[in-house]
């Protein structure tokens, strides 16, 4: 599978100004050779890096890419010789290993088979300008890859740009972070998120709900859609009111149509249950905000909070702890079905007859 390269020529929504600044630095020869794009996941950091690269390589650049020159056309179809995209997601690699960075003779057949950073940089610029490496999700870089990459960062060549993107900066060695300049990108506004969803042909009503749930991350909103989260939320809201038994709801939630990551059926079930439990925690958090006085229309998950019975604080805390524990246990070797049912049971209201005397 090749990296996602969009032929559409438009600045990444919400990040155009940040990239303009970088082009301005390039025009005066002050663009750092190592850039580290940071910010919440799913906000378009990788797309922003791609946009930066296009504007650097455009014949009329550095600046907004013209879209019609030779380099722009080659970039749009992903075969410009001076850009190397390292995308472990597209390569289906859990880890960014040493093989992404350096040439090694002992490369197993399951490892990354593409061009390494070292190899790419040993070539001269095909078109005489910048040579650019775009690295996605560098939190996946393991330690030996990081150490090898550090060497590259320490010996910068002129006109080389190493741009990396990471949603979890703590996963990177301090020695790497001290040699790159951070570019902080922010979550999008709700309007911008909705606009991105509209570009994916999502109808306005659904886009509005998803944008709210995505909290400024169109990527997250799209994931939620792919998982069938809107339908799942309805089943979960029922769980809080005790209208249907947890076992029935659990089955319903497994029937919700959705695509989940994972190589095996069990791994996919685990991703599914992780998502549902995250949503369940989200509902509980929303409910707390609602009780604290936040208007329902400002809660990320939608208008569920007022329909949830308000229990005394100690019971609410207990409920949250049960769900969080189930969420934590997804990492253990327990049946995902059991964990989900456990959590759904925990959020069901205490039985009416026994409630008043014993719980008060
Ligand atoms: Zn151009």
pLDDT at 79: 81
Contacts of 152 (CB under 8 A, 6+ apart): 101, 117, 118, 121, 162
Residue scoring higher pLDDT (358 or 302): 302
Distance in Å, CA 65 to ligand 1 centroid: 5
Whether the Cβ atoms of residue 316 and residue 331 lie closer than 8 Å to each other: no
Distance in Å, CA 74 to ligand 1 centroid: 10
Contacts of 315 (CB under 8 A, 6+ apart): 350, 359
Give the integer Cα–Cα distance in Å for 195 and 280. Answer: 27
Distance in Å, CA 294 to ligand 1 centroid: 48
Give the integer Cα–Cα distance in Å for 92 and 1. Answer: 8
* In the chain, % of residues over pLDDT 70: 94
Distance in Å, CA 360 to ligand 1 centroid: 71
Q: Which of 44-58, 92-106, 298-312 has the lowest mean pLDDT?
A: 298-312
Distance in Å, CA 71 to ligand 1 centroid: 6
Flag whether pLDDT at 354 surpasses 60.
Answer: no
Give the integer Cα–Cα distance in Å for 198 and 190. Answer: 12
pLDDT at 241: 87
Distance in Å, CA 200 to ligand 1 centroid: 26
Mean pLDDT of the chain: 89
Distance in Å, CA 143 to ligand 1 centroid: 38
Distance in Å, CA 292 to ligand 1 centroid: 53
Distance in Å, CA 54 to ligand 1 centroid: 8
- Encode pLDDT of 80-113 as tens digits: 899 999 999 888 888 999 999 998 888 888 899 9
């Amino acid at each position: 599978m090749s990296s996602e390269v969009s032929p559409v020529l438009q600045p990444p929504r919400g990040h155009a100004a940040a990239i303009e600044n970088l082009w301005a630095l390039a025009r005066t020869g002050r663009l750092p050779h190592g850039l580290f794009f940071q910010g919440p996941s799913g906000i378009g950091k990788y797309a922003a890096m791609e946009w930066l690269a296009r504007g650097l390589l455009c014949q009329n650049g550095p600046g907004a890419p013209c879209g019609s020159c030779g380099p722009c056309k080659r970039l749009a179809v992903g075969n410009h010789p001076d850009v190397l995209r390292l995308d472990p997601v597209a390569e289906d690699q859990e880890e960014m290993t040493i093989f992404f960075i350096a040439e090694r003779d002992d490369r197993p057949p399951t490892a990354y088979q593409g061009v390494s950073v070292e190899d790419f940089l040993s070539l001269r610029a095909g078109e005489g300008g910048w040579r650019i490496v775009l690295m996605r999700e560098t939190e996946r870089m393991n330690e030996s890859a990081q150490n090898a990459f550090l060497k590259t960062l320490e010996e910068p060549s002129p006109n080389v740009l190493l741009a990396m993107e990471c949603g979890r900066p703590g996963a990177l060695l301090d020695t790497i972070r001290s040699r790159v300049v951070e570019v902080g990108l922010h979550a999008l506004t709700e309007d911008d998120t909705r606009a991105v969803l509209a570009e994916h042909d999502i109808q306005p009503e659904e886009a509005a709900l998803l944008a709210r749930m995505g909290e400024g991350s169109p990527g997250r909103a799209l994931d939620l859609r792919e998982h069938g989260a809107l339908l799942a939320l309805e089943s979960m809201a029922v769980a809080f009111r005790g209208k249907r038994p947890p076992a029935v709801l659990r089955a319903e939630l497994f029937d919700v149509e959705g695509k989940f990551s994972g190589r095996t059926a069990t791994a996919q079930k685990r991703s599914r249950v992780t998502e549902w439990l995250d949503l369940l925690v989200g509902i509980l958090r929303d409910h707390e905000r609602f009780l604290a006085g936040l208007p329902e229309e400002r809660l990320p998950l939608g208008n569920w909070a007022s329909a949830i019975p308000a229990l005394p604080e100690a019971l609410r805390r207990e409920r949250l702890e049960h769900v969080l524990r189930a969420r934590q246990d997804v990492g253990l070797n327990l049946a995902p079905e059991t964990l989900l049912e456990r959590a759904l049971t925990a959020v069901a209201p205490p039985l009416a007859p026994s409630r008043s005397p014993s719980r008060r």
